[in-house]
């Protein structure tokens, strides 16, 4: 028990120290959420396995992201969470540095993350949605779906905020350059759609950061393309998760849960239901929901229907729900593998045209 007492003492001291920490560079939202989740797990234990529909509808985007981060730590003992929190605090202090006392930042760690509701600006979220910090292996939700609320906030970043952030960014610290695929291991074939989006966005950002032209005019022209690419990334995450979970459902049906390592019940609870909820939420009207995200939500309505119908069938017989899920995804393959990708290409062109208009307006000083 002496070790546990010592861990608790170190944990409390670290929490107190993080409240006073002034980072030299703003931590990503993913890192903020990591500290929040570890602190919450250490103090409160496991998160509820699931929320009812009413509770989910009442959650804001930020609250949903924080709950998903906490839920990703289910199964982690409280003393282990304390140790992990201390280790993560030390890592973040090394990564982000410590500013002089006179430097004012709005960043806090750990327990202070509960009050960090003002960190939903796209400036931080655009980089944090797929920070290299990975969700714990105990996560019960695909990390791509868990990152959707943060990406939605990033897509809502307005032109002035985007321009101000880019003007402060060094070419070596490109936001898009820090991203990685969320639905598969980087470099794998299944990660190709996300990899293409991230590569294009990274190249555009590098050109902008190194351009000799008037930065304000150029940034106004690129801002729509930036937001369109985030929206496309959101769409690809949903589609990749849909196809991946359908393939997994088929494997469980034919090979059995023992050989695959996961049951159909867990697949539906942890992936299919959250996937459908995420897709249906995109098209709902929220004060800070970007128009592009709502359009993506409309395009993904077939996905939410498939998930909802499958879940309803699974409530009766899980095998029936799984068979319908795999069949429906297979029968709609043309939509996911052709219509959505080509629509994404068209969306980039639309974003480029809109960007040119914004650039002209900026040059004209209208």
Nearest to 146 by CA among 81, 82, 61, 249: 61
- Spatial contact of 344 and 209, defined as CB atoms under 8 Å apart: no
The tens digit of pLDDT for each residue in 204-227 reads: 888 887 766 556 667 888 889 999
The alpha carbon of residue 70 and the mean position of all alpha carbons in its chain are separated, in whole angstroms, by 14
Between 62 and 227, name the one with better pLDDT: 227
pLDDT surpasses 50 at 53: yes
pLDDT of residue 2: 44
Q: State how far the Cα of 72 lies from the Cα of 136, in Å rounded to an integer.
A: 7
pLDDT surpasses 50 at 17: yes
Q: State how far the Cα of 175 lies from the Cα of 331, in Å rounded to an integer.
A: 38
Identify the band that residue 59 occupies on the pLDDT scale cut at 50, 70 and 90.
Answer: low
The lowest-confidence range among 32-46, 155-169, 252-266, 271-285 is 155-169
The lowest-confidence range among 23-27, 68-72, 77-81, 333-337 is 23-27
Mean pLDDT of 282-301: 85
Between 19 and 129, name the one with better pLDDT: 19
pLDDT of residue 145: 87
The lowest-confidence range among 228-232, 257-261, 281-285 is 281-285
Sign of CA dihedral 146, 178, 38, 19: negative
Helix locations, the chain, DSSP H: 2-20, 29-44, 53-58, 61-71, 78-96, 122-128, 143-155, 159-168, 192-210, 215-255, 257-260, 264-267, 273-282, 291-299, 301-316, 318-331, 333-334, 340-364
pLDDT surpasses 60 at 322: yes
Identify the band that residue 268 occupies on the pLDDT scale cut at 50, 70 and 90.
Answer: very high
Which residues lie below 8 Å from residue 5, measured CB to CB, with a gap of 6+?
none
The lowest-confidence range among 40-44, 219-223, 313-317, 318-322 is 219-223
Sign of CA dihedral 318, 319, 323, 326: positive
- Spatial contact of 329 and 302, defined as CB atoms under 8 Å apart: no
How many CB atoms are located within 10 Å of the residue 264 CB?
A: 21
Sign of CA dihedral 215, 129, 233, 52: negative
Residue labelled with tokens 């196809």: 243
Q: How far apart are the first and last CA of the chain?
A: 69
- Looking at every residue in the chain, the average pLDDT score rounds to 80
- Spatial contact of 152 and 289, defined as CB atoms under 8 Å apart: yes
pLDDT surpasses 50 at 273: yes
Greatest mean pLDDT range, 94-108, 139-153, 312-326: 312-326
pLDDT of residue 216: 64
Between 229 and 98, name the one with better pLDDT: 229
pLDDT surpasses 70 at 327: yes
pLDDT of residue 191: 85
Question: Tokens standing for 261?
Answer: 């390592």
Question: Tokens standing for 99?
Answer: 């500013």
The tens digit of pLDDT for each residue in 102-139 reads: 433 333 344 333 433 333 334 344 334 333 333 333 34
């Amino acid at each position: 028990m002496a070790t546990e007492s010592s861990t608790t003492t170190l944990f409390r001291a670290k929490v107190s120290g993080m409240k006073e920490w002034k980072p030299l560079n703003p931590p990503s939202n993913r890192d903020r959420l990591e500290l929040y989740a570890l602190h919450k797990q250490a103090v409160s234990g496991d998160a509820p396995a699931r929320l009812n529909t009413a509770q989910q509808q009442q959650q804001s985007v930020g609250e949903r992201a924080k709950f998903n981060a906490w839920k990703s730590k289910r199964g982690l003992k409280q003393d282990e969470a304390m140790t992990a929190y201390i280790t993560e605090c030390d890592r973040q202090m090394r990564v982000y540095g410590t500013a002089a006392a006179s430097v004012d930042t709005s960043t806090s760690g750990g327990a202070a993350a509960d009050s960090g509701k003002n960190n939903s600006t796209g400036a931080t979220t655009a980089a944090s949605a797929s920070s290299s910090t990975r969700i714990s292996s105990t996560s019960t939700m695909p990390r791509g779906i868990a990152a959707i609320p943060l990406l939605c906030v990033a897509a809502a970043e307005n032109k002035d905020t985007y321009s101000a952030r880019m003007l402060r960014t060094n070419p070596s610290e490109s936001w898009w350059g820090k991203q990685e695929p969320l639905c598969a291991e980087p470099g794998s074939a299944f990660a190709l759609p996300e990899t293409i989006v991230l590569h294009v966005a990274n190249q555009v950002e590098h050109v902008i950061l190194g351009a000799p032209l008037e930065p304000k005019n150029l940034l106004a022209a690129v801002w729509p393309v930036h937001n369109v690419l985030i929206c496309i990334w959101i769409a690809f995450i949903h589609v990749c998760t849909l196809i991946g979970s359908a393939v997994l459902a088929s494997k469980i049906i034919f090979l059995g849960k023992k050989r695959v390592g996961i049951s159909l019940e867990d697949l539906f609870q942890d992936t299919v239901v959250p996937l459908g909820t995420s897709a249906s939420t995109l098209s709902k009207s929220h004060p800070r929901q970007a128009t592009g995200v709502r359009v993506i939500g409309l395009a993904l309505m077939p996905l939410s229907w498939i998930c909802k119908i499958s879940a309803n069938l699974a409530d009766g017989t899980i095998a029936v729900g799984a068979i319908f899920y795999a069949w429906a995804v297979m029968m709609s393959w043309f939509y996911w593998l052709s219509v959505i990708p080509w629509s994404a290409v068209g969306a980039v062109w639309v974003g480029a045209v809109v960007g040119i208009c914004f650039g002209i307006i900026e040059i004209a000083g209208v």
